[in-house]
Amino acid sequence: MISIIAFVKCVNYASSMQYGPNADLYDINPYDIYMIHQLIRLKKTIPCKITSVTMGPLLCRNVLKQIIGWGIDKCVLITDKSFVGSDTFATSYILSKYIMNIGEFDICSFGEKAIDGETGQVPIAFACRQNKRCITGVNQIISIENGEVILEREGDNKVEIVSVNMPSILAFQGKTTERPTGSLFDLKKAFNYEPIVIDNKTINADYAMCGHNGSKTVVLNRAEFPKRANTFVHGSLETKARFLKEILFQ
Amino acid sequence: MDFNFSYEQKQYTNQIYNFAKHNLNDETKLDCFCMDQWKMIADFGLLGITINPEYNGLGESYLTAALAMEAIGHGSINNGLTFALTNHIWMVQNAINLFGTAEQKQRYLSDMVLGKKIGAFALTESDAGSDAMSIKAHASFKNSRYVLNGSKTFISNGTIADVFIVIALTNYQPAEYTAFIIEKSFNGVHIGREIKKMGLSSCPFCELKFSNCTIPIENVLGQVGSGSIIMNELLTWERCYEFAPHVGAMQRILERCVQYANERKQSGRFIKDFQAISHKIADMKVSIELSKNMLYKLAWLKDQGKSAYTEASIFKLFVSENYIKVCQNAMQIFGAYGYASEYGIERELRDAMACSIYSGTSEIQRNIIFQFIN
């Protein structure tokens, strides 16, 4: 059975596209939701076990439970006070230590970036630490045959079908806030599921390489962009098209 | 009295609605039964919502099941498929779950929940519709097995079913009825012609004929002679759970009418601004809310293990007549577009018309209700 590790980030809801009075403080990064859609689509055709791995605060636990309802097999939350303030350099180190801890994998997958940072560096830095290449711009995995992953990727204004040997590290492009619909069995499993929580004692990362200590970037100043007026347009496609037409032809 | 649903129930409702909306609204699959869609529903886990996990079910409550049925009616425009589904779950699967022996459950339930076997309930005969007790199909006991002769008609799922629950006479005087589990592969089972009908096109109806059909004694459902009790009990379930999707369907039609009324302009105004239209929509909402309340109460009664015979008749009568009225009003709101096939409103009305007939006509329901009052 193919073993897939899906790295998922929980982002603060204020920067997420989907928020409202009932939104959790944290939500799944929309780039990672797209990745999960693709992995679940793959799971319907090829036997595989998908484990989602998140580095984040304990608050993310409840948000992660919903991933099980989408059809993911297992959820792991890596959390430790020493990880607070980790930049992409430190994050890629910590995730690498986790992978070293679990041993072998067939596919490690990432969403291309996170909407609260948009650097897109973690997948590539992680791959460097694994001494492997990271295949970026992945749209979908087409098939897995004879130890090779056949996938479709986009880059340099072209779409390619490429094959890459396993174990492989993939970064999916594309984002969505539409949640996958798992089966009712998955949903029932999610109700009672508790993510596996592990801390630094388990992965044994060097404290000097984690958190603020391990981060190469320092935030010197932060300024918020002034918020622009916006309107959410709800309704059917026809309603939205009519609204846009009125705006454009004013 | 707490009218709130649990977090889990809300999640189930959303998941089922989303599943139905994304997977069961293919307009090219409305005219005939599609096995691919059935398998998809089975894999999704909808078939075994109240069945014990021992038989691959989810083991949820009857209230959760009512919400599930409502959600599928809300999400899917394929009323025929929904009808086939509810027949299978509540008239056959539920029958075996409630009245079957451990061996019968072992033999049939898992496969039915996994979508490998489809069920059909066979009661009606050409001369026995509303007067269900005048059925003539007869099973005589010979050489340690039953031999069934007779025919049934208007059997939902008949052409696609693998397992039938058949009610037959096992004694003439006094009249004694027994329920049997009959497999399509038994000797003497003949699937007749499919019956063309006004609506519910993706649920096939047909005739069944039994010619010296041999039934092993292990396939008696419940006790010999308990057929009328089983029949009445199953009709109660049918009246509740086959009409639960109609509550969802009414909601779906209401949403379409609201959207249309907010977009369609006549005489320089949106048609929602005309009271003739807005009152129709308000009436739809009233029907839906009252139907929901009755549905949830019925499901609660079932969860409590209480009888709901009369309540089911009241619910069935109210929902069936209001569902038809909602579809008729929708057609008025849509006008000529409603009459045209492209918009699907006329199909909704054609599908709805059957519900004042099956599970006992509206007239029969009124008789039952009056008997209770009197």
Give B321-363 pLDDT, tens digit per residue. 999 999 999 999 999 999 999 999 999 999 999 999 999 999 9
Q: Work out the minimum CA distance from A242 to partner chain B, whole angstroms.
A: 10
Distance separating alpha carbons of residues B158 and B80, to the nearest angstrom: 13
Q: What is the pLDDT along chain A (250 residues), one digit of tens a residue?
A: 899 999 999 987 655 544 544 445 788 999 999 999 999 999 999 999 999 999 998 888 888 899 999 999 999 999 999 998 888 899 999 999 999 888 788 999 999 998 887 888 999 999 999 999 999 999 999 999 999 999 999 988 899 999 999 999 999 999 998 889 899 999 999 999 999 999 999 888 888 888 888 888 877 777 777 877 877 787 888 888 888 888 888 7
Query: What are the structure tokens assigned to A80, written together?
Result: 């430790």
pTM of the predicted model as reported, rounded to 2 decimal places: 0.88
Chain B, 240 to 259: residues with Cβ < 8 Å from chain A are: 259
Give how far Cα A108 sits from Cα of A6, A52, A171, B218, Å: 6, 10, 9, 54
Which among B206, B216, B120, B132 is positioned nearest to B169, based on CA atoms? B132
DSSP 3-state helix, strand, coil percentages of chain A (rounded to 5)? 35, 25, 40
| CB < 8 Å to A182, chain B | 15
Name the CA dihedral angle for B215, B217, B219, B220, rounded to a multiple of 10 degrees: 110
CB-CB under 8 Å, A187 with B15: yes
Distance separating alpha carbons of residues B340 and B336, to the nearest angstrom: 6
Which among B58, B83, B102, B95 is positioned nearest to B160, based on CA atoms? B83
Distance separating alpha carbons of residues B355 and B349, to the nearest angstrom: 10
Predicted confidence at residue A14, as pLDDT, reads 59
Whether residue A183 lies within 8 A of chain B, CB to CB, comes out as: yes
Which among A75, A105, A83, A57 is positioned nearest to A205, based on CA atoms? A83
Summarised one tens digit per residue, pLDDT across range B56-70 is: 999 999 999 999 999
CB-CB under 8 Å, A238 with B58: no
Please identify which of the residues B70, B207, B238, B348 carries the catalytic annotation: B238
Whether residue B8 lies within 8 A of chain A, CB to CB, comes out as: yes
Angle, vertex CA B173, rays to CA B224 and CA B95, nearest 5: 30
Name the CA dihedral angle for B37, B42, B44, B47, rounded to a multiple of 10 degrees: 120
Residue type for A33, please?
Answer: I
H or E stretch at A244: helix A237-248
| CB < 8 Å to A68, chain B | none
Whether residue A182 lies within 8 A of chain B, CB to CB, comes out as: yes
CB-CB under 8 Å, A188 with B15: no
Active site residue B342: no
Whether residue A192 lies within 8 A of chain B, CB to CB, comes out as: no
Q: What ipTM, to 2 d.p.?
A: 0.89
